[in-house]
Amino acid sequence: MDGTAITGAQAAQLAAALGDRKAALAEAARIAAQKVALKAAADAIDTSDLSDADAVAAARGAVNGLKAALDAADGVSDAGKAMYRSVLDDAEAAVRKAEAGLDARDRMTAQRTAITDALTEAREALRAVNDGSTEAEVMAADAAVAALGMAIDDAAGLPEGDLTVARARGSLGVLVAWLAAARERRTAALEKAREAEMAAIAARAAKLFPGIAPQDGTPGPSRRHAAHAADGDDRILVLFGAEPPEGTVASLVPDEEALVPENHGWQGRRYASPSSAGAPPGDGFEAVVYSNVEGLGRKFGSATAGTGAGREFEYMLADGALALVSGGSAAPAFSASRVGSQRFVNIADVKRFRLRGDATNVLIPGRYFGVPGTYDCTPGAGGACAVRVAAAGFDLGTVSAGNAFTENGGTWTFRPDDPNARVVNAVDSAYASYGWWLRTAGRNGQRFGALDASAFEDEKGGVPAAGGIDTLYGTATYAGGAAGQYALSSLTGGINDAGSFVARAAFEADFTGNTVSGTIDGFTGADGMARDWSVALADQAVSAGGAIAGDGTPGSTARQLTLWTIGGKAVAASGEWTGTFRDNGADGVPRVVTGTFHAEFGHEGRMVGGFGANRRQDRTDR
């Protein structure tokens, strides 16, 4: 410069020019960077091979990157962007085409997988179908084959002639034909099994029919009598036929492993005897007896603590079991008098229960406080679980190698089958009973395998017969249950059915006329299904002492008839029934009636059983 001074205005102009130049250079740099970004984004796009999902995803990412670069390139002219827009359009079209192809391929893959899976499931379902399959298994196979057909129909995305579809269609035809054949074979097998079952039922009915007879205590060939043993003895004694050795006196003990449901409020119990004194070799006896055992207590046990004398449960359970003995001590819940099991009977003193194999505990079915369940004993090292006869019931413990009994040894628990079952507070109290018994003849000549059945009625503990009935006036009703054996045996295409039954029993007593009549209905047969039967017990005289017998004429003791109706059809009355009123209440009216009955349905049906009913509080005086 020549040293000439500039004015302030000139200085301002010069500063403004420098600022504009800087701004122009910055803008040029920004646009140049945008162009570089556009080129880099365009160069990142590779659509040369879009044959797999990763390449397509990468291309889609690059396309999205170029879109972002174009949106950000606000300084680049439209002419400068045109080439990149063309690149973007071509790449977008290529990526979309590739994505559509991938979607189609994924759909086809899914459809092929669905077909393959359905085919596998159909084959597995059909393998389960055989002559013994359940209806549910057959229905599952039907559903699996139908699902295969649907999977094939849904494979619309697969090209014509697809190998997976073609093979599946061929397999479907084979499976449909195979299933149809399997169903046909199963139907034939079920029909054959049904015929065999019906033949077995008919054979049992034919065998049981001649052996059904009413209770008869008269010694001789026709004797059929059963009763409780003496008080304190839990057995039932059955007297069959003449005196031994020609006849039989069978001793039946409680079967603690069998759970017999109650019948209209009366508690059930099964009795059995593997051998019988005086019986032919192999004779077998069983009985089911129902008793109006009073004193049922609270429910057995709960995992939730209760408080107070009126709590709902008798015991506290841990993991569903009641602790009885542990660490040399008896638990507070333990009482030897409440211990019982079929495997404890006939013990002279001590019985040992050995461990089997690698087992560390012994499981023993039985009852505690009258509730069925399982005893679980872990003896510990060097010992064996054992029980010992106590003054009442059984002590629990272990025995050592020298057979010395250790009371409260080992760990004993009891797991009830049903924690809600009620404990029995009065096992040895007085009660009335009814039921049935059945004999299967052993090796006894022509009668091998023959069946004989009759009824049971008795009392235990001194339940008194009624008295003073002839001084009563009015009526009373009684409700309860009945149980017994029946046989319908037809040789002309009629009903063949046989086995045990339970039913409902109802009685109407007219104490003014000293008579009673009854009805047995609500039958359930041996297969657990209802039967449309009823048995009418004809009007019969009642003595002053409660005996039910006779037509009311002086000196008559003839048992009155029964009338068995099947499906509304009845034949001539036949059979007989009898019974006893027991246990006068405070008002002089008997509180319970028990007895036996025998009914016939023409020449094809026979039934025998016992009944027990409690008085309903609806007596009316006249």
User: CA-based diameter of the chain, in Å?
Assistant: 170
Q: What is the rounded average pLDDT of the residues 448-472?
A: 91
Residues 451 and 341 placed together within one structural domain of the fold: no
Predicted confidence at residue 294, as pLDDT, reads: 66
The reply to whether 162 and 16 lie within a common domain is yes
Highest mean pLDDT among 1-15, 18-32, 143-157, 294-308: 143-157
Q: Would you say 158 and 108 are in contact if contact means Cβ atoms under 8 Å apart?
A: yes
Domain assignment present for 226: no
Tell me, yes or no, whether 51 and 20 share the same domain.
yes
| Domain co-membership, 326 together with 396 | yes
- Report the domain count for the chain: 4
* H or E segment to which residue 201 belongs: helix 163-208
**Do residues 193 and 320 share a domain?**
no
304 shares its domain with 280:
no
Q: What is the pLDDT of residue 282?
A: 59
Indicate whether 220 belongs to any domain: no
User: Nearest CA to 392 among 234, 251, 259?
Assistant: 234
Q: How confident is the model at residue 515 (pLDDT cuts 50, 70, 90)?
A: very high
| DSSP-derived 3-state class of residue 198 | helix
CB contact set of 566 (below 8 Å; sequence gap of 6+):
495, 531, 532, 533, 601, 605
**Co-location of 90 and 39 in the same domain:** yes
Q: Which residue has the tokens 């039907």?
A: 142
The SS3 assignment for 532 reads strand
**Cβ(58)–Cβ(97) below 8 Å:** no
Domain range enclosing 568? 432-615
**Dist. CA 342–CA 121, nearest whole Å:** 48
pLDDT at 247: 67
pLDDT at 344 over 50: yes
pLDDT value, residue 620? 44
375 touches 413 (CB < 8 A)? yes
> H or E segment at 27?
helix 8-44
Residues 307 and 347 in one domain: yes
Backbone angles phi, psi at 112, to 5 degrees: -65, -40
Measured torsion, CA atoms of residues 112, 117, 121, 123, in degrees rounded to the nearest 10: 50
pLDDT for 443 equals 62
Residues 143 and 281 in one domain: no
pLDDT in tens, 531-559: 999 999 999 999 999 999 988 787 788 89
Which has more pLDDT, 221 or 185?
A: 185
Residue 303 carries which DSSP code? Answer: S
- The H or E element spanning position 484 is strand 475-488
Q: Are residues 403 and 442 in the same domain?
A: no
Whether 59 shows a pLDDT value over 70: the answer reads yes
| pTM score, whole prediction | 0.64
284-291 and 475-488 strand pairing: unpaired
Distances, alpha carbon 37 to alpha carbons 71, 337, 512, in Å: 11, 97, 119
Residue 83 domain-assigned (yes or no):
yes
Domain assignment of residue 221, yes or no: no
Residue 619 has a pLDDT of 42
340 and 268 belong to one structural domain = no
Tokens of 551: 């037509």
CATH of the domain at 469: 2.40.160.90
Shared domain check, 513 and 379: no
**CA torsion through residues 606, 612, 616, 622, sign:** positive
CA atoms within 13 A on the CB side of 343: 14
Nearest-angstrom CA–CA distance, 151 and 94: 32
Angle at 338 between CA 336 and CA 342, to 5 degrees: 100
Q: Which residue has 């291309």 as its token pair? A: 59
The domain boundary, picked from 195, 211, 227, lies at: 211
Select from 374, 400, 424 the last residue of a domain: 424
Q: Could you tell me if residue 180 is inside a domain? A: yes
In this structure, of 9-13, 470-474, 568-572, the range with the lowest mean pLDDT score is 9-13
223 is a domain residue? no
400, 424, 448 - which closes a domain = 424
Residue at token pair 């740099």: 29
Please check whether residue 606 lies inside any domain of the structure. yes
pLDDT for 470 beyond 60? yes
Which pLDDT value is given to residue 309? 36
Kindly state whether residue 228 falls inside one of the protein's structural domains. no
